[in-house]
Amino acid sequence: MNIILGVTGSISAYKAVDIMRLFQKNGHNVRVILTRAALEFIPALPFETFCPGEVFSDQFEKHQDPLVHIHSARDNDLLLIAPASANIIGKMANGIADDLLSSTYIAFYKKVVIAPAMNSYMLDHPAVQENLKKLAARGTGIIDPLFGSLACKTEGKGKLPDPQDIFDLTIRFASGVINV
């Protein structure tokens, strides 16, 4: 399977490297799209090391296909966004395409899975909950965040699940075994 792994701005972005590697070790091709906010949490280098030529962050980068979002959407079977921030969830739910990842999503008509990760106050906000409901109604698979210790030194729901769990649930969703 050809997979796009979208990585957004969350303290749990460091887990995305392990998610990418799990898919690769199981025979899947991975293309990575990092948002600008993701690059504040983790550099592109770990992704570029294991996915040379398949890591993107800027839709208008020189020496890059200007239609990378269209070609990525056409040439891949699944879009997984892990971690998915409140920002990308809002963009997806409301059709905003103002960066490479959100533009790729708007052009993507195959299976989509997101793994939200954020502070529990953010996750519980009515706007975020409404956006998640919109996405679920459109068929987006949503991997529930876990309850646990959060970066803000509180306990609550909002923690990114273990990379192995994200891998397993995504594969099961992609094969039609479950709806997440």
Candidates 67, 151, 152, 178; catalytic one: 152
Vertex 65 angle, CA 98 and 25, to 5°: 90
What are the CA-CA distances from residue 68 to residues 33, 49, 74, 97, 122 (Å)?
A: 10, 20, 10, 14, 31
152 is catalytic: yes
Q: Which residues are catalytic?
A: 152
